[in-house]
Structure 1
């Protein structure tokens, strides 16, 4: 215990005050530097994460807008092009739903409904839906800039669509969509059959003089 008493006596003496003061200043400086470094590192990580989220969000929105352009002329696409377009839409839908943004699932549901309506309108009426595509693009860009306000608007649209669509109408629309899709595939299958027949005729061997004599 003698060494402890000697330490206490030295700390309380006037000769130790400069040393104790310097030690306290050094401790506070190291602690402040550590806290500042942690704050800077945390801010940098948040900026990197936010930038990656913005890039992922921008890529998903760009893919959905491109899908809306293809959906507006859906009836003129080949079945292979339709499959590729659906795969792109599916990937963009997953990207939107995985975004760490409140209401991303609502935005994905709204986009899926609008893309389906664009496909159905194109297959049924067969015209370029430029105003609908522009509205889709503007709504998605508005969600990118103001997600909270756009989420409320998307939710209101989804609720309104659910109340407007009655069960008999849903069945009729689904039957009409199935019929249009069947006609579309039959048209391209017929075109492929005719093209294959034309190629086989072009590649048939031409009779020679020896064949005629035989």
Structure 2
């Protein structure tokens, strides 16, 4: 049954009517389908390239803004109040733009850059060379992250963990110093009333002694 059906189909395609159907309907339909698939693949590839180019441009702009903020932060001690406010606004905006990037490790890169900027502001007051070194590390780190986000993400995470450990140690040391200061203040406060009471008692004894001592008046000789 199936063989007979297949033979009838082959005979129909071999006939004039079947050949006309193939040339006038089937071939144009297949050409349209294949053409649509090819056009869709080309459009998808072009869209991917366009999105990738926009992502690269957005990332480059955000990184450039952070580096520009770093250059100003390296000379933080020489800036006026208005310039400092502008730099803070610029760096905050650049940090948000980095966080919004659809890239691996964007949040970690923003945290790392914010820590570097804060360190540069602090070091620019007394030791400008350290601020310049921090600026170079900021530039190299962000450019590395732009080129290879995965590798730079690991380095940023290691730096952030190290800084967090150092900060916790410094905070613990500060707590210990505050406790020692509070203990000294409590000891001094307890000692002060005792000393005051002792001084008052001594003054009372001296006054009583002075009152108990008789006064001797020597009259002149009238002979």
- Mark yes or no: TM-score above 0.5: yes
1:127 matched to which residue of 2? 128
2:22 counterpart of 1:16 = no
Distance 1:36 1:20, change over 3 A: same
SS at match of 2:111: helix
1:73 and 1:119 in contact (8 A); partners too? yes
Instruction: Give the structure, 1 or 2, with the largest relative contact order (CA under 8 Å, sep 6 or more).
Output: 1
- Shift in Å at residue 113 of structure 1? 0.8
Give the whole-Å Cα distance in 2 for the aligned partners of 1:51 and 1:26: 37
- Partner deviation per Cα, 1:34-66 (whole Å, 9 max, x = no partner): 011111111111111111111111111111111
C-alpha distance in structure 2 between counterparts of 1:159 and 1:168, whole Å: 14
Report whether the alignment pairs 1:39 with 2:33.
no
Q: Summarize deviations over 1:7-56 as a string: whole Å, max 9, x none.
A: x99x9362222123223222221111101111111111111111111111
State the partner residue of 1:65: 67
- The answer to whether the Cα contact below 8 Å between 1:110 and 1:158 also exists between their aligned partners in 2 is yes
> 1:56-205 to 2 correspondence within 5 Å?
56-123=58-125, 125-128=126-129, 129-166=131-168, 168-169=170-171
What's the C-alpha RMSD, in Å, of the aligned pairs?
A: 2.2
Q: How many residues align?
A: 163
What TM-score, normalized to structure 1? 0.70
Distance 1:88 1:159, change over 3 A: same
Contact 1:73–1:126 under 8 Å retained in 2: no
CA distance in structure 1 between the partners assigned to 2:144 and 2:156 by the alignment: 11
Q: Which protein shows a greater Rg?
A: 2
* Higher alpha-carbon deviation: 36-45 or 127-136: 127-136
Report the 3-state secondary structure (helix = DSSP H, G, I; strand = E; otherwise coil) of the residue aligned with 1:153. helix
Q: Deviations over 1:101-146 (max 9, x none)?
A: 12111110110111111111113x1424322211210111011111
Separation in 2, partners of 1:168, 1:131:
23
Question: Do the aligned partners of residues 148 and 168 (structure 1) sit closer, same or farther apart at CA in structure 2, a change above 3 Å counting?
Answer: closer
TM-score, structure 2 as length reference: 0.67
Q: Which moved more, 1:31-40 or 1:162-171?
A: 162-171
Runs of 4+ in 1 over 4 A off after TM superposition: none
Measured in 1, the distance between the counterparts of 2:149 and 2:48 equals 19
